[in-house]
Structure 1
């Protein structure tokens, strides 16, 4: 009756030698190479993980604070509006009471806005015009996954045209920007709590609402939200006598951002272990082949015992290379 192979396993050859022998010295050298060589092969400047990245969509909530500055042709007229009454009172004749409409859109219904729509209507007299517009829109930005931070942020929308316009439409992304990695230990941290970009309780002069001054404060921060326009359309004035309003419309999308953070000790060790283990397997494979050749051919003298059926001790076997 024909038979079929069901299972196979190797028979071990065991090698023995005294402590005070070249064979034992070779064994110690092999162990040292097995443990140390993978480290030297895998070590480089990125062996220890210094920063890591994860993806998160920032939660941006509109703070109902906005600054709008507009300029007429050749800088002849200047208009200003803010949502802060104390600041408006300091602007005198340049103040224009605008109409501001906002709407948050949550497409995937995860309680985090995916888009923010802004509409600002600036009333104009018959002889007035707008050729340049700047707007600062303030948000409360929050990260809540690994890095837990809360901060006030502002995006700058700006456009300059050589002709008078009846409106500006812009569409773009609100990008989370950082210059240094964030810590991930502990709970929520309120960033820049002592340096508000626009604090209504600390307004003492018209310079407090200057857009350039606020932009300088934003640029000095590690964490900012930046508006990057993708589509822009300037609507020119056809009949300057009939122009009554200038309309700024902005569709601001809030994409998922790459958040750079300082990894924990567990992450650093795990990443280093994976790099070390990848080289350990390769070195171990070739070192096992070398030791098998050296011991089997008795390049260093050892006592070889070959296992037999039913025994885990083996019988002596000697062979010289």
Structure 2
């Protein structure tokens, strides 16, 4: 039996509502929970499946106002010396020469961290004395905070010699961190926050520069090694 269409009428139904409804709020919440938390997790975790990454940080470096200076005045072992360590100065006897010292730490960009150290030493000499070589040791406090919290005592060692005596020596250098292990990202790493020089010791061996540098560079390298050294440019 065939069927015939006898009447048709199209129906148009429209539903209207305000934008500020619970349904709109629900959609916005779902959108935020879908995209924002993964982005925050990726940012805080330094990325997903990260194998290797690098970052730069300006350390907080403070001069400790500890110095040890030795100048050779001849080829037969004659020398003059001075330090900020009273016990070492007492061991020098007639070889002690107390210099005029000027120290200034500069913060070029006003960020609260010292960018440059200006140090000037003027050593008084006798009329017959001339300087052929100079050794200078300076100590610093070195701190990192951005990724790892590291506090350590570091040093700068400067050495220069010449076959002819000199009256002035200019040094320009940068402190750099030498690292052979990953730093811990939790807690305080202060294993090397000890004095570079054994202050208060009455023995001359405690102020031997070769021993100080050897112990400084070793720093328990069987397990980990972390120290700061200085690159210098010398002009005399």
Report the TM range for the smaller structure's normalisation.
0.7 to 0.9
Matched, 1:225 2:228: yes
- Give the Cα separation in 2 of the matches to 1:51 and 1:79: 50
Matches within 5 A, 1:48-67: 52-67=53-68
Q: Residue 211 of structure 1: which of 205, 209, 212 is its match?
A: 209
TM-score of the aligned structures, taking structure 2 as reference length:
0.73
Deviations 1:80-121 (A, max 9, x none): 110011221122222111222111111111111111111111
Aligned to 2:191: 191
Q: Are the aligned partners of 2:151 and 2:192 in contact in 1 as well (CA < 8 Å)?
A: no
- Give the Cα separation in 2 of the matches to 1:191 and 1:75: 41
Query: What is the count of residue pairs matched by the alignment?
Result: 184
Runs of 4+ with deviation above 4 angstroms: 48-51
| 3-state SS of 2:94 partner | helix
CA RMSD in angstroms, aligned pairs only: 1.8
Q: Are the aligned partners of 1:69 and 1:134 in contact in 2 as well (CA < 8 Å)?
A: yes
* Structure 1 residue 51, shift from structure 2 partner: 5.1
Q: Which runs of 5+ in 1 are unaligned?
A: 1-47, 235-321
- Give the Cα separation in 1 of the matches to 2:51 and 2:215: 28
Matches within 5 A, 1:87-236: 87-186=88-187, 188-193=188-193, 195-201=194-200, 203-221=201-219, 222-230=225-233, 232-234=234-236
Q: Are the aligned partners of 2:198 and 2:207 in contact in 1 as well (CA < 8 Å)?
A: no
Q: Which runs of 5+ in 2 are unaligned?
A: 1-48, 220-224
Aligned to 1:77: 78
* Structure 1 residue 192, shift from structure 2 partner: 2.1
- Give the Cα separation in 1 of the matches to 2:102 and 2:191: 28
Q: Are the aligned partners of 1:72 and 1:131 in contact in 2 as well (CA < 8 Å)?
A: yes
| 3-state SS of 2:167 partner | strand
- Give the Cα separation in 1 of the matches to 2:198 and 2:74: 32
* Structure 1 residue 210, shift from structure 2 partner: 1.4
* Structure 1 residue 75, shift from structure 2 partner: 4.2
Q: Are the aligned partners of 1:67 and 1:81 in contact in 2 as well (CA < 8 Å)?
A: yes
Aligned to 2:15: none
Change (3 A) 1:184 1:74: same
